[in-house]
Structure 1
Amino acid sequence: SPDDTRIVYTPICREFRTWKRYTGGRAQDVWIYDLVKDTAEQITHFLGTDQHPFWYKEKIYFVSDREDTPADPAKPIKLNIWAYDLGNKSFTRVTDHREFDVLWPSGHGGFLAYENGGYIYKLDLERGVSEKLTVNINFDNPNTLPYFKNVGEFMSEFGNSISPTGKRVAFDARGDLFTVPAKEGITYNLTRTQDIREMYPTWSPDGQWIAYISDKTGDYEFYLIDSQGKGAPIQLTTDKKGWKFPALWSPDSQKLLIYDKNRQLQALNIKTKGLTMIDKAQYNDVDDVEWSADSNWVVYTKAGSNFLNGIWVYSLTEGKSRLLLDNTYNNYSPSFSKDGQYLYFISDRDFNMSFESGFSNQEFDFVYNKTARIYALALTKDAPKLFDEKNDQEEAKAAAAEKPQKEKAAAGKKADDKKPAPPKPLKIDFDGINERIMVFPLPIDQYGTVIDLDDKVLYTKAGNIYLYDLKEKKSSPMLEGVHGWDLSADKKKILYGQGNKYGIV
């Protein structure tokens, strides 16, 4: 108050809420507290909002979404400034904004400043007139001048790709594409564009191209750019079908698997730019997409009506998809072995109740937090078993037979160095395929990914990367605390992220 003996306040703080026309238990009212008499008086009893009181002379100004009596139904209800007369205890509307609410008033002397619709107004309390202010901000515009910026902290977690042999890495940062040397050399900006966002670079296995997504046309489309930065980018798609996800190169560097938010998985021929529809999901996104080594098969997961994933394969030669493993159990992370004999995958098939964590990865009513194992599926009937069946038997010892001299000599010879043979065409015997599932001798846990590395298998668990040796039949840790990784095309190097840093091993 002007004589400093009373204060006006609201017991409830709710001004920062965005609730409109609120009449619940946290609706505010205005009170006066007498510092001399130690008494409080409630002066508003409106069901809605009364807030931001300001005392000037014999009136208290506040913001309210109350209306005149009778209210005009043609006028939208908004927060406005009202005045309470301490003498006759009457309420008077001061402002009449009908498009936006009056927000954050601040008073000084005989004036109130407030915001409405993004503009600042000044209310003269003596005259009861509001004036919209024109705000001019004069400054040197330093951010419009050219400057150097280290974009390392702006690299996208999902926009990185290791080169085929791990010598360089492609990143996207601040809308441009960069390639960075693994050890020594120059960092190249491949795109150098303004007002265009390039993202999700993926390096072709032959090292020639980098596929990426750009909004150059106003819609996200797929493009190719030479990995050395030579020549102009090549636009691959023109479908304008919304958000797209990173592409996946075929091992022969001739095709890309592309996926969009319409849940369509397609194969894109980079020479003809032709698109082949592989599948369209109904219940959830198509996920866990991988190529076979011969570039003729695609494996992926797709949810059924129970929202558990089945594993599907698509033959580019036959032009059709087939269900490989149904969704009785939740299956994920399938990948072909390089020799084409096996499909590795993870599946939730062990239901061991646990109370170590509050939620299950199956559903909320039952706590089954460790349900997954890593499996191998023999794609053909003649594929050898990876693991010996455990069955304790007492066997009679037999005398070791002497190897023929010719066999000894052959075993002692070293194989001549040869160029890698082209991958054999993949063959799948669908008949009786469920009977050829083998489980890895690893504990039940929460696994993330499994990928073939010839005589080893890479798998992830709780942010850590492990290697399982198929010959030694044992697992060993490789990297810990990893939040993202990418395997080189030759499967000899891996790009990984730890914290805000990246490394290659």
Structure 2
Amino acid sequence: MKTLNLLLFFLICTTISAQGTQLLRQPTLSGSDIVFVYANDLWKVPANGGSAQRLTSNEGYEFSPHFSNDGSWVAFTAEYDGNSDVYIIPVSGGEPKRLTWHPGADVVQGWTPDGEVLFRSAREARPTQTNKLYKVSPDGGFPKAINIPRAAYGEISPDGKYAAYTPITFWDPEWRNYRGGQAMPVWIVELATGELQRTPQPTKERHLDPVWFQNKVFYLSERDLASNIWSYDPLTGDEKQHTFHKKFDVKSLDAGPDRIVYEQGGYLHLLNPSDNSTQQLIIEVKGDMNFARPRWEEVKGNDLSHANLSPTGKRALFEYRGEIISVPKEKGTYRNLTNSPGVADRYPVWSPKGDKIAWFSDESGEYQLVVADQEGSNPRSYPLPNPTFYFEPDWSPDGNYIAYSDTDYNVWVISLNSGNVQKVATDRYAHPNRTMNPLWSPDSRWIAYSKQLNSHFKAIFAYDVQEKKEIQLT
């Protein structure tokens, strides 16, 4: 039995190790190498995976890497001097060379066929035309604008005749299955004549991150309700889906000489468009990762959030970096009530008597409600239905219930004696601030909250916990 247990432990460890490092982002592919972003730095790895080599180590953010046409240089955007500008670095490593100096952000998009760096900039921005594409020589000099009035993401075709691009940036690119005014197709323009094509959008889906590969435009589309790779042939108008992921979206892609590399589920993958075969790469990233080491942090007042005053007014609760902290008004010292590295503890609230506190914690893997004494000791966890993010807990004056809302616009009430949870209201429409701010009446019988009407105007509603009925007050 002992031998079997050791064998199982070895197999589990081997399986975890074989999966490689996750959260690898924004890959670019040459004939032999991949460069990607990890922990805000650039790393290089052989095209079939393996151990990665660090290329950059700046304190700021390095992102949007793109190989030169011959694979000898990498262009990227970085914050070396405090601003986001265009840099190049040899693929073997070395000192980055700065190419742009404008105070706005210059974001690399790729390389032109004649070997200049293509980037996006708002240096000539005006209403309705906030971004354009520019090119700059790797030897330096003034950038030159591409003759397109408005463009945000895109590339020039290898023959230099076409540009494939999306005209605008997005205020929330992580909004999955977005259908709205910012859901743009890929625009394909013939640079000599200005003749324009657009990729088809039968479901009004959003198209992102266009790249050229074998005279076709490859891009990300959410047509099948997940972000996958599609292609469009400007000559024939044919379109084709190449990946079929369901659970996790494809986040970015880039084309190499004979394959496409893309980011999905935290890993990097290679795609062969000829037969749609894919390969998940096993990549190991090893470094000092100083940002992840335990360290002292100076807490400033502006860093504290979700303040909650004790009933006596002598102490207050705050949330800071996933910890719940109790701070005295005058005498005494602060207390870290949770002291839980690796756990997100959120939204602390005092009990009516001040002898207990409650908060939401994801220590179990999903957020649960935790109730403990005011020292943070003797915690009791309450599993909650509809696992998601929860907001704004409010303790009933009699101390028996807590009301809260969730990211799906529901108001819930939990009985602290039994642990039973009931949903008491749901908002009619989505809104940016998520929470419905439930508050208890002094007799602990009613919960008041705001909710949208069919007109989208908000009204105040109240819910009777005893009779289990809702009434509209305004």
Same fold (TM over 0.5): no
Q: Could you tell me the TM-score, scaled by structure 2's length?
A: 0.43
Q: Could you tell me the TM-score, scaled by structure 1's length?
A: 0.41
